[in-house]
Structure 1
Amino acid sequence: MDSYSSDQSSPSINSSLSQDIEQQPQQYIPDQNSNNQQRANLHLTRTETVKSLQEMGLTSDAAVPDINAPQATKNAIFPEEYTLETPTGLVPVATLHSIGRTSTAVSRTRTRQIDRESDSESKAEEEEEEEDTSNDLDPDIEFVTFVTGDPENPHNWPVWVRWVFTILLSGLVVCVAYGSACITGGLGTVQKQYHVGLEAAILTCSLMVIGFSLGPLIWSPVSDLYGRRVAYFVSMGLYVIFNIPCALSPNLGGLLVCRFLCGVFASSALCLVGGSIADMFPASTRGKAIAVFAWAPYAGPVLGPLVNGFISVSTDRMDLIFWVNMAFAGAMWIIVAFIPETYAPVILQRRAKRLRKETGNPKIMTEQEAQGVSLNEMMTACIVRPLVFAVTEPVLVATCFYVCLIYSLLYAFFFAFPVVFGELYGYKDNLVGLMLVPILIGATFALGFTTWCENKYVKLISERKPTPEDRLLGAKIGAPFAAIGLWLLGACAEKHVIWVGPASSGLAFGFGMVLIYYSLNNYIIDCYVQYASSALATKVFLRSAGGAAFPLFTTQMYHKLGLHWASWLLAFICTAMIALPFGFSLWGKELRHKLSKKDYSIDALGI
């Protein structure tokens, strides 16, 4: 047993106390209400032993890091730190070494930096220690974990609390997605305000969506270093502020720059909320919560033209559109500020800092603290690897292409419907926005249907070992519906056909859209479990690029090809993509082995 003394007690007293603790093992997590005298009398800090770790299932082989483990930690010897609960809450590095866990190319320098933060040392001693480096972690370090039944562990929060936070965070995603499409309900106000054409006005939507693809390069590292809560608070605060110049900009250039920056700032919700939900739910039960998140980025944009079409027609004011968006974003900013931190590495870092102060032991820390944050590793995980995956992983690229297509088609609807209903039926922006309601209804139906898909998956993995292809059930069901929606839109684009025909196309498309995204998002995670964060970053980048590009040519395409063939061209592409989930379901494993540089999936890693 490893322990640390806080005073110079005799060996016999320490020996006796050690025997007592061995008989009744307890962790030392100081009571916040304990007085200084009680703390001064504390002699030992209880830690885990080789036997206790082995009883918890730890072996010499390190587990695959959880999807939410710090991306910049290299050669981790204790990746279970953020998911495992131990009776004592402290795991010595020496004990990990004893069961065969070793690290390479890791210096003791970071340990001594934390030492110096806790104790003032002479300059000579500091210089001497800087020169003393090793290729292993300091064996005296004790890694902090959650204790058994820990109330600070988000997985242990009451179920209703976790679901309330899930709904609120999904509301944040709806807010951001709403903001990206809010101006599509009043493009005429932009044209009138700045005396520009429709193409220039459309850029106010596209540039914010482009910002969605670049923002994660900032907010993912911020989240890793300082936690989700800080990332949400800072980014959403900036998003709220930059809606002000959007409303007051004297020229189009200023508006476009501010819209792009709004996309960069607001993107934290799109890239981090899925992680926040995963923080609160273990892998076995998070599917239903992730389904709510899958609904939000597709339902949110539908509300933009729906709400602001009425604002545009009633007031003819561009600035009011942005004031309403600012109010929505401000309300969500305040609400999210009250959600506690969910990111386990940051929660444990704060606990380690508290324990170092209360025990006087400067070597209590997390593994991320012990190894330090590698800028190169962080750049690799957040920027380099996602771009490398985009050109070296055909399976990932094909899956992301389908996600990108569905997301792009949603934005295409925002510009196709004004042509179909505005030019064919003579509807103004308010009524055109109402025609998008069936998309929202279809997406909500799909949200309920994901519960059935998730129950089927849970039942399947209880009977046998899971594979990534098991996640494709939702996409196989939803893919035909997305194509049917586009075929229906093209077929019903006739003056003599009542508006219910083309409007109902959104019902089928919305249903298929959410099922496809929910299913393929889980498929990507299971295919690239070892680098899931990087694979999802590739998806966000490609999806946002497509969502930004489609609005730029959708209106012209409908004018050049006609209402029928413009929709049918998209329907042909969407119909061809139906083969992807079915093909991957049959031959996905073989394709991953043949086409991928390395198989990172759950079945290849034996999970």
Structure 2
Amino acid sequence: MREEEETSSSSSRDQEKQLGLKSTYIDDSSLAHLPQEHRDYLLQRHGTLALDPMPSMDPADPYNWPGWKKTANLILVAVHAMMTTFTAAAIIPAFEIIAEDLDVSLVKASYLTSMQIAVLGFGPLLWKPISNRYGRRPVWLVSVALSGICNVGCAVSPNYAAMAACRCLVAFFICPAIAIGSGVVVETFFKKDRGRFMGVWTLMVTLGPPAGPFFMGFVAEHIGYRWIYWVLAITNLVQLLLYIPFGPETRYMRVSHTPTTTKPNPKPSPFKAQYLSILTRIDPTPLTALEFLHPLSLAAYPSILIPTLSYTFVFGFASVYLTVEIPQIFIPKFALSPQGLGLQFLGIVVGSVVGEQLAGPLSDWWMNRNRNRDGSEQSSARPRPRPRPEHRLYLSYLGFLLAIVGLVVFGVRTEQAAKGHWNVTPIVGIAVAAAGNQIVTTVLVTYAVDCHGEHSSSIGVFVNVVRSTWGFIGPFWFPDMITKLGVGASGGLMAGIVFVVGWLPVLVLQWRGGRWRARRVEKEG
């Protein structure tokens, strides 16, 4: 038997050479159970057998999709995730106009954003089990369609109560991608590329809060704040039209690789499975009430809880605080118009994009560099093992440092600025903090998924619940902090909190994380 396995492995390596492919063969026990037909299929499809996870022989398997198809689907899901926070923050430049139009206070107008943040946090708890049973595609289609209808409701709302109700409904329907997106990345891309593509999703989530006010400030000033809702509704319609051809189903029930289960089931066809099986159950497992709360149980895993809390504090200060408090700080300080106020968020946009270049691609390189091979002459050698997930955490240190520096620079330079005389230095601080936030986001979320890939979609939901809860609470005490301490001292306080409850726990996690996981496996196994 051993001779047959070695002969089969040698045959696969010979095929790689004949096809002129880069040999990255892994002499792994999982390959020993693959029939030659399956190996031939993977070599033809991917050019290598060094695949983790190992795909099936089915073209409907997302791991077997061509690169353009994976990327197009990810972009749609990532933009969908961005629209959740984009929609919540879009009306920030128009708070004063809304307050006047609906005859409410400025603080009450701001609740139109705060209440959406709260709904965004807990809505995915319902959507995640549904998407597991019926698939991601029907959830995406229903999400953008009903969000568009409710945004129309916001646009025509005659009073504050009606607008608040429609805003909550929009948040509930638009929210799935902000949490389930992490699962889509895991379902579509191999581990070696996970940091880069997880970064695309996390970047769009981060860009939502600043991009909304940045773009909608122009809309509010030039054609009226109600057109913000019409633009959002039109955007939802465009998303719906793009999802139909470019958003195939990524939820795929993969079977074990044994000689009797490697051939794909001819029914349904790959096209039907990816595009037409909208109301067909993908997972026949019975749906229980407890499953809707399952993501909250992930708090029992230190490798998920600690990075979630550390990231949440950074996000709360370097994203939510800066986004929500900029109007309340800059309008009285510099007397900015809605358009001018929207332009202040450009710093967060630029910083987030720059930060992602230092997070996703760099973290993948950091994790994969020990597995690089010299050439085909060593193709039969076993590559070096992939580093422990904790190895990725080193890159988060730069993110924490930039977030701390950025918050201090923003606070101090805003405090020092003369009233009525705007200058760019606070925006520089915003950009630095945003870059740090994005690095922390991508690295810590990817780390949690690396440690517990079996809970990938639940991790996104859990992270979103914790992040959104903190994001909802923050705006209620941020103004009091600024009033009592001033903007400068507030920046120093937040920087200290990020260091103590953000950075230090990650240091402990890097030291003990692997042992905690091993101990838990022993206990459960």
Shorter chain as denominator, the TM-score bin is 0.7 to 0.9
| TM value normalised by structure 1 | 0.68
Q: Which residue of 1 aligns with 2:236?
A: 329
Flag the structure with larger Rg.
1
Distance 1:429 1:574, change over 3 A: farther
Contact 1:481 1:509 in 2 (8 A): yes
Counterpart of 1:238 in 2: which secondary structure?
Answer: helix
Gaps of 5+ in 1: 1-53, 60-83, 90-144, 357-367
Q: Which residue of 2 aligns with 1:373?
A: 285
| TM value normalised by structure 2 | 0.78
2:219 aligned with 1:311: yes
**In structure 1, what residue type is equivalent to 2:441?**
Y
Q: Which residue of 2 aligns with 1:354?
A: 267
Distance 1:488 1:355, change over 3 A: closer
Farther off after superposition, 254-263 or 165-174 = 165-174
Q: Percent identity?
A: 22
Farther off after superposition, 194-203 or 489-498 = 489-498
Farther off after superposition, 294-303 or 529-538 = 529-538
Q: Which residue of 2 aligns with 1:412?
A: 321
Structure 2 residue aligned with 1:480, among 401, 413, 432? 401
Q: Distance in 2 between matches of 1:599 and 1:253?
A: 51
Q: Which residue of 1 aligns with 2:163?
A: 255
Q: Distance in 1 between matches of 2:310 and 2:138?
A: 33
Q: Distance in 2 between matches of 1:154 and 1:303?
A: 31
Question: Counterparts in 2 of 1:12-411, with a 5 A limit?
Answer: 56-58=31-33, 148=57, 150-315=58-223, 317-345=224-252, 352=265, 354=267, 372-376=284-288, 379-383=289-293, 385-390=294-299, 392-394=300-302, 396-409=304-317, 410-411=319-320
Q: Distance in 2 between matches of 1:323 and 1:211?
A: 21
Distance 1:465 1:304, change over 3 A: closer
Quote how far apart the aligned CAs of 1:542 are: 0.6
Q: Distance in 2 between matches of 1:340 and 1:205?
A: 29
Gaps of 5+ in 2: 1-28, 43-53, 256-263, 270-279, 372-382
**In structure 2, what residue type is equivalent to 1:483?**
I
Quote how far apart the aligned CAs of 1:340 are: 4.2
Contact 1:235 1:265 in 2 (8 A): yes
Tell which has more relative contact order, 1 or 2 (C-alpha 8 A, sep 6+). Answer: 2
Quote how far apart the aligned CAs of 1:519 are: 0.7
**In structure 1, what residue type is equivalent to 2:233?**
M
Contact 2:217 2:342 in 1 (8 A): yes
Counterpart of 2:401 in 1: which secondary structure?
Answer: helix
Question: Counterparts in 2 of 1:399-478, with a 5 A limit?
Answer: 399-409=307-317, 410-450=319-359, 451-460=361-370, 463-478=384-399
Q: Distance in 1 between matches of 2:466 and 2:430?
A: 24
Q: Which residue of 1 aligns with 2:460?
A: 536
Contact 2:129 2:291 in 1 (8 A): no
**In structure 2, what residue type is equivalent to 1:495?**
A
Q: Distance in 2 between matches of 1:174 and 1:205?
A: 15
**In structure 1, what residue type is equivalent to 2:214?**
L
Quote how far apart the aligned CAs of 1:158 are: 2.1
Quote how far apart the aligned CAs of 1:482 are: 0.7
Distance 1:474 1:333, change over 3 A: farther
Distance 1:414 1:266, change over 3 A: same
Distance 1:178 1:344, change over 3 A: closer
Farther off after superposition, 267-276 or 550-559 = 550-559
Aligned residues: 450
Q: Which residue of 1 aligns with 2:380?
A: none
**In structure 2, what residue type is equivalent to 1:373?**
T
**In structure 1, what residue type is equivalent to 2:176?**
S
